[in-house]
A and B are shown apart, each in its own frame.
Chain A
Amino acid sequence: MLVAVKNLQVYYGKHLALDIDREIRINEGERIGIIGSNGAGKSTFVKTILGLTDYKGQIITDLKPEEMAVHMQFNNYVSTMPVRYILEAILNTDIKENKKLRELIDFFEFEPCLRKRYKNLSGGQKQRLTIIMVMMQDAPLTFFDEVTSGLDFETRQKLMEKLCGWYQGRENTLCIVSHYYEELELLTDKLLMLDNGKVIDFGVKEELFRKYCGNSIIILDAVEQNRRLVEGCRKLCAPEHLIAVSCGDEQEEKRVSSFLIENDVNFKRSNNDIEIMSINAKETYYQRHGKGGKV
């Protein structure tokens, strides 16, 4: 176990920003996705583990602060010198002599940026600079807080491909905060779902999916004809423009999909859709605990 969080409360003034009433354990080698809407407490959770906020409760860890690396939502550096000097100063190394650093620079195609000043880098290049330095720390626990926010679709995709490629087969423990569910589908094996500072659920991605969605789901457009067609099926909560049908087993899935194909309806099948799962997890949580989140 790397970190255990128990009965944690974080206040910003009088506002209770984070209220974790159960134990959250982060174990070696895990890849944990942290999801939730704005103000859910995702960044507060990261900052609290890093020791950047005051809190009530317990954070149990043997890790020293320098054994945790973090890519914050906003990372800035001075623009008074080319970024190569910033890299070398922060990592206390020489790019020419450090094989691992050169490998990372090549991997993230950062070589042409080394002579530029920080303010002259594009959004994606700025993110890559911090990612390179965070990866060079090679910490037992690494946090990525919205690495791709503010980037266009293409840059986001490229950056995530690079991140996935780099961490494939490596043992590092990662905690990834993101609004983009497809990123979490690629990189994580556990999910921590937060809403209004409360823990909606925490567990293995597949188990959570089965708990809230069933074996698989079939997603189709929310048009009147489709609504009539799936009237008898077990429907899940979904965004307004979609209908999500839960399939308890393979046979049910086959039956629903054959029926939809017969009726010439376009649909999408998934057994790991984080968006639909999180909507239903929230719904279940508030049904049990009420809107205030208390039993």
Chain B
Amino acid sequence: MYECRNILGNPFVFIFGMFFPLLMLFIITRAMRGEAPESYTAVMNTGIFIQLSLIIPMAVVLLGYSASFSEELQEDIPLRLELFGFSGKTTLLAKIAAQFVVLTTGLSIYTIVGYAALDLQVPRVSSALCFIICMILMSVLFFALAHGVSLIFKKFGPTYAILMSFYFGVMILCGMMGLKTEDLPVFFQKIAALLPMSYIGNDFIDFWQEGSYNFAPLIQAYLFFGGVSGIILLLALRREKRNQGSLKDF
């Protein structure tokens, strides 16, 4: 409960994680209404819905968690909690659980409001499951990246600057800012191909209700992004250990 309050007490989580994706969903679907034939509206809306849903884990986990955790590290709050008898492991598990609860709530609200207000396609069970698994996996990688960068810098400023740049970079590269990935220069398209977000945002609509999909590039992108996040987290944890553990380096 404490960690859930801690997440929800950060206004950026509400703004970027709940309000912003819904606002963008309504603005973009309305703006695109005249661009496609009426029979195609549901497919177009659903594509936009899938793409913008990616903002939620990015805002809640990547930005929200890194912002609050780096600020806590800057203020030595984890150490204070350890001195009250809460081990680093307990605190971390509580943070993971709270992130999961808030993320699930955010995605549920987004889905309920989206499906209630817009003409969206209902996915087949396998597609919905695939989408949920991909979202969970991506959130885990975002958490590892956010945790690692926060631990390396231990300061709000540089952590937030780096991950905010990454956030907007991903939004541009994965077509969430109105510009399609295939319209970007080849170099940026290649970078986008390394990110699982671009496959979820651009391709999932192709098998949402029917059809098949080649998952190999998506899995490769997950492996690459997972590798980068994992290396950053490992480097951060090794550095922590070298500094005599979380308790001993203050």
Contact = CB atoms under 8 A, between A and B. Distances in A.
Interface of A: 50-54, 65-66, 69-70, 72, 74-81, 85-86, 89-90, 133, 137
A86 B2 contact: yes
A78 B83 contact: no
A81 B6 contact: yes
Contact of A51 (B1, B80, B84, B247): B247
Interface of A is mostly: loop
B76 interface: yes
B130 interface: no
Nearest to B6: A80
Interface string B63-85: 00000100010011100110111
Contact of B77 (A52, A69, A70, A78): A78
A75 B250 CA distance: 12
Nearest to A137: B84
Nearest to B84: A90
B9 interface: yes
Listed residue (B77, B81, B85) with the most chain A CB atoms within 10 angstroms of its CB: B85
A121 to B, nearest CB: 14
B2 A72 contact: no
B5 A80 contact: yes
B84 A77 contact: no
Contact of B83 (A70, A85, A86): A70
Given A52-B247, A52-B250, A53-B248, A76 B5 contact: no
A40 to B, nearest CB: 19
B91 to A, nearest CB: 11
B248 A54 contact: yes
Contact of A75 (B9, B80, B248): B80
Contacts of A90: 81, 84, 86
A52 to B, nearest CB: 5
Nearest to B7: A80
Contacts of B6: 78, 80-81
Interface string B210-250: 00000000000000000000000000000000001001101
B10 A72 contact: no
B78 to A, nearest CB: 10
A139 B250 CA distance: 23
